[in-house]
Amino acid sequence: MAPDRGVTVAQYEPVLSANFHKPDGHTLAVYQAGGGYDTLRKTLKEKSPKEIVELVRASNLRGRGGAGFPTGLKWSFLPENHPGPIYLCVNADESEPGTFVNRVQMERDPHQVLEGIILSGYATRAGTAYIYLRYEYPLCFKRLQQAIDEAYAAGYLGKNILGSGYSLDVYIHRGAAAYVCGEETGLIESIEGRRAWPRIKPPFPAVEGLFRKPTVVNNVETLSCVKHIVERGVDWFKSLGTPADPNDPRDPGSYGPKLYGLSGHVSRPGCYEAPLGLTARELIDEFGGGVWGGRKPKAVVPGGLSTGVMSADELDTPLDFSAPMKVDCLGLGTGCAVVLDETYSMVDFLLGSCRFFAHESCGQCTPCREGTHWALQMVRRIKAGHGRLTDLDLLLEIADNIGILPGTTICGLADGAAWPIKNAIRKFRGEFEDYIRRTNAGGWMVTEPVPALEADSGQWTVGSCQ
């Protein structure tokens, strides 16, 4: 059943992607021709920073970077009378596997991103903004820097913006390709020039963040939404998406527009805009043209690898901040779906997933460092034809005991590593058991410890793997 949305996909007029297909849509001239920076000009004259914070808070805008934390609430944590400086950090690291919508946004409409940054900087009283950009995005870097230069020249950045008395400087900080920098305090540590080890909280960044000063960290798409909330109003924003669940006081609703990424085994992969809450099936069929080659879907990663997987029976789940959790996924995540067709091996899916998270763990927390490593070792052994049925229970034991949710790690990378293991094995256990029996006919029933495989070599080591 389709979700209860105020505006349907067919009725929806894109706003975040309105300039994506315009010739030279990344330039200041094209952006201004469509009314770009008019909202900033009007806001600096007519509204106070506190009014913008209250507007964003009333909209129930939730962070588009993965966690879905209410943006206005995060802003309200800043100390009211702090003398400054206050910093704004823009998370443009986008290292979640299967996720690319921020890249498309920055390449095709960087001025929309900048206007959102300036409005958000004004609201939070930030004097400096750092865009933490993934190093593998060279075109984003070029387009963003060009947009920043144009904005300075036009008086939208720098001292006394448009004669308002508000000043903001924006800098691009290029990261060195570390997934853990998507965690806000890991990102802050990296900007400060240190190893990106997430910090223990509290204190939270709003109190003690970049250079130990109050700091707000928001995602690229989140800040772009701020621009449209200020321009079009709270009622418009809340007319999109899915309303709060009256039976769940912890659900603030999933409102507003969303850029959905779609990749994997579909006919038309790409970046598509829709109101929050369209179903995975709608995304695949109406936007992606269905699964390629006339095949059937086996599984869908709903919002980046860390969210886990939905089975084919769960494709009518709305892609909002709450519904994926009802089918045992970690959440919406980044809203970028990866489709796996009926021919794809879930053993291969889990091997790729475990390899990624073991590589990207910063190593600071023992459960994450050791858990991701040994999960990878076991899945490698299963793939090599030496798996045992008991390995599946051991993998689930690891997955259930690492991460913030069981309270064993500082950041959520371990939760992201655990969820694909939990989902893949619990939802496709029959496939794993069949693979183990077929590839290890003489040893699938063994329960005592067995030797581990040397990394990618297929050779036995001296140690053992439980």
Q: What is the pLDDT of residues 309-318, one digit of tens each?
A: 999 999 999 9
Answer yes or no: is pLDDT of 458 > 80. Answer: no
Burial of 441 (0-12, 13-18, 19+ CB in 10 A): exposed
- Summary mean pLDDT of the chain: 93
> Which of 325, 341, 357 delimits the end of a domain?
341
For 137, 308, 370, the CA distances from 301, given in Å and listed in that order, are 23, 6, 25
For residues 227 and 269, state if they share a domain.
Answer: no
End-to-end CA distance of the chain: give it in Å, rounded: 44
For residues 78 and 92, state if they share a domain.
Answer: yes
User: What pLDDT was estimated at residue 450?
Assistant: 83
**What percent of the chain is modeled with pLDDT above 90?**
88
For residues 326 and 367, state if they share a domain.
Answer: no
> Which of 242, 276, 305 delimits the end of a domain?
242
For residues 83 and 164, state if they share a domain.
Answer: yes
For residues 95 and 210, state if they share a domain.
Answer: yes
Q: Is residue 118 part of a domain?
A: yes
Q: DSSP string covering 75-92, please?
A: HHTS-TT--S--EEEEEE
User: What pLDDT was estimated at residue 285?
Assistant: 96
Beta strands in 20-158 (DSSP E): 87-92, 128-133
Q: Is residue 2 part of a domain?
A: no
Answer yes or no: is pLDDT of 5 > 90. Answer: no
For residues 147 and 199, state if they share a domain.
Answer: yes
257-297 confidence digits (pLDDT tens) = 999 999 999 999 999 999 999 999 999 999 999 999 999 99
Task: List residues bridging with 270 in a β-sheet.
Answer: 262
DSSP state of 454: P
Q: The domain containing residue 118 runs over which residues?
A: 28-242
Tokens of 370: 């050791």
Residue 400 maps to which CATH number? 1.20.1440.230
Q: Is residue 267 part of a domain?
A: yes
Q: Is residue 145 part of a domain?
A: yes
Average pLDDT of span 89-111 = 96
The C-alpha atoms of residue 336 and residue 307 are separated, in whole angstroms, by 10
Question: Which residues does 75 contact at the CB level (< 8 Å), separation at least 6?
Answer: 53, 56, 57, 123, 124, 206, 216
Q: Is residue 12 part of a domain?
A: no
The C-alpha atoms of residue 428 and residue 157 are separated, in whole angstroms, by 52
For residues 271 and 382, state if they share a domain.
Answer: no
For residues 410 and 288, state if they share a domain.
Answer: no
Tokens of 222: 């989140």
> Which of 187, 216, 242 delimits the end of a domain?
242
Residue 34 maps to which CATH number? 3.40.50.11540
DSSP state of 212: G
Answer yes or no: is pLDDT of 466 > 80. Answer: no
Answer yes or no: is pLDDT of 389 > 50. Answer: yes
Give the predicted TM-score (pTM) of the model: 0.93
User: What pLDDT was estimated at residue 67?
Assistant: 83
Residues 188/194, Cβ–Cβ less than 8 Å: no
Three-state SS annotation for 318-344: ECCCCHHHHCCCCCCCCCEEEEEECCC
228-262 confidence digits (pLDDT tens) = 999 999 999 999 999 988 888 888 899 999 999 99
For residues 364 and 434, state if they share a domain.
Answer: yes
**What percent of the chain is modeled with pLDDT above 70?**
95
For residues 291 and 204, state if they share a domain.
Answer: no
For residues 168 and 137, state if they share a domain.
Answer: yes
